[in-house]
Structures are given as C-alpha cells and as structure tokens.
Structure 1
C-alpha cells in the first residue's frame, strides 16, 4: 500500500501543475487553481501514511534530532510520508506563486521554468519566484471607502 500511495502522490498533483504550466490562460485553469483545496488529495495521502504511524512520527518531529529524522525517513512509510509532505507544500507554494504572478502580470514564459523548478526543488523555485516578482509590481488597489457609522 505504501508504494502505491507514494506513486499516487505525484499523480494527483500533476494535473494542477500541468494546468499552471501548459494552460495558464485557459479560463478553467484560474477557476481550478484559485481553490486552495487542490492540495487536499495529497493531504489525504499524507494523512493515510502518517496517522497509522503517529507514535513513531510525533517524537521525530516534536523533538527532532538528525538521527531521529534520518531513522524515520529511512523507512518506506517515512519516505512516502515525506514525499507527500513535500508535494503538498510545493503545490501550495506553486499555486500561490502562479496566482500572485497573474496579479502582477508576470509572463507565462517566465513562470513556466519557475514552476518546474518549484516542482523539482521547491525552496529554490520559491526563491526564484521571489526574485523574479520584484520586476513586476502588483497593481495599486483602489482604496475602499470608510464605512459609515449609524447614529
């Protein structure tokens, strides 16, 4: 079951990455990616892997040591759970970057390699986007009027 969940993890996230990278201007892409619930399938997989092993996982993360984390990740269940953890957070970060890039007008051709980098090496993709986004400023929002007080 662990091997199957490991394989399923990226398979359920890949369609969302494909939408952001390959179909960034499709009207359905923005509708789908706008929901933070796109990470839910991976979160469910993570829960299926972590909850049964909670007694082993909690000590390793509550008071982490290099040895304890290494031992946890050295198991099939631990590696699969770590993979689901990474995929969920990489997708959430990629989603945020994609939505933010649309608000800023960052070209899709700039975002495609940033998103690929985020898939492969999450924190480096985030760093690349944080660097790239400085070139495009968010449009200034119109300030909402102050609410009127009654009485």
Structure 2
C-alpha cells in the first residue's frame, strides 16, 4: 500500500499544477485554485501514511537529529510520508504564488518556470517567485482591500 500511496501523491496534485501552468487564464482555473482545499487529497495521503506509524514519527520530529530523521526517511513509509509532506507544502506555496501573481498581473510566461521550479525544488521556486514578485505591484484597489481585513 505504501508504494501505491507514494505514486498517488503526485498524481492527485498534478492536475492543479497543470491548471496553474498550462491554463492560467481559464476561468475555472481561478475557481479551482482559489480553494485551499486543493491540497486536501495529498494531506489525506500523508495522514494515511503517518498516523499508523505515529509512534515512530513523533520521536523523530519532536526531538529531531540527523540520524533520527535519516532513519525515518530511510524507510519506505518514511520516504512516502516525506514525499507527501513536500508535495502538499509545495502545492500550497505554488497556489499562493499563483494567486498573488494573478493579483499583481505577473505574466504567465514568467510564472510558468517559477511554478515548475516550485514543483521540482520547492524552496527554490519560492525564492524565485520572491525575487521576481517586487517587479509587479499589486493594483491600488487590491492593496486597499488587503488592509481592510
């Protein structure tokens, strides 16, 4: 079952990445990506992997050491859970960057490589977006509404 969940992890996230990268201006993309629940399928996979192994996982994350985390990730369940963890957070960060880029009117051709980098190397994709983001200012109406919340 672990191998199946590992394979399923990216498969359930890929359609959302495809929408953001390949169909960024389609009206349904904004509706779908607008919901933070798009990460829920990956979160469920993560829970299916972590909860049964909670007794092994908790000590490794509550008092982390290189050897302890390495031992946890060195198991099939640990590797699959680590993968689901990365995919869930990368998708959430990619979603945030995509939504923010829409408000700022960042061109889709700029965002596509940033989102691909986020899929492959999450933190570097985030850094890439944070590097290009200042070039496009949020429109005044959007900025004003942000301060009212």
Give the TM-score category using the shorter length. over 0.9
Task: Tell me whether 1:125 sits opposite 2:125 in the alignment.
Answer: yes
Q: CA RMSD for the aligned pairs?
A: 1.0
Task: Tell me whether 1:16 sits opposite 2:16 in the alignment.
Answer: yes
Larger radius of gyration: 1
1:62-101 Cα deviation digits (max 9, x unpaired): 0000000000000000000000000000000000000000
- Cα distance in 2 between the residues matched to 1:143 and 1:121: 33
- Cα deviation for residue 123 of structure 1 reads 0.1
- Cα distance in 2 between the residues matched to 1:14 and 1:96: 16
Which position in structure 1 is the counterpart of 2:31? 31
TM-score by length of 1: 0.94
**Matched pairs, number:** 144
Stretches of structure 1 lacking an aligned partner (at least 5 in a row): 145-151
1:45-60 alignment, distance < 5 Å: 45-60=45-60
- Cα deviation for residue 139 of structure 1 reads 1.2
- Cα deviation for residue 143 of structure 1 reads 4.7
Q: Runs of at least 4 residues of structure 1 off by over 2 A?
A: 141-144
- Cα distance in 2 between the residues matched to 1:65 and 1:98: 34
1:1-151 alignment, distance < 5 Å: 1-141=1-141, 143=144
TM-score by length of 2: 0.95
Secondary structure, counterpart of 2:140 in structure 1: coil
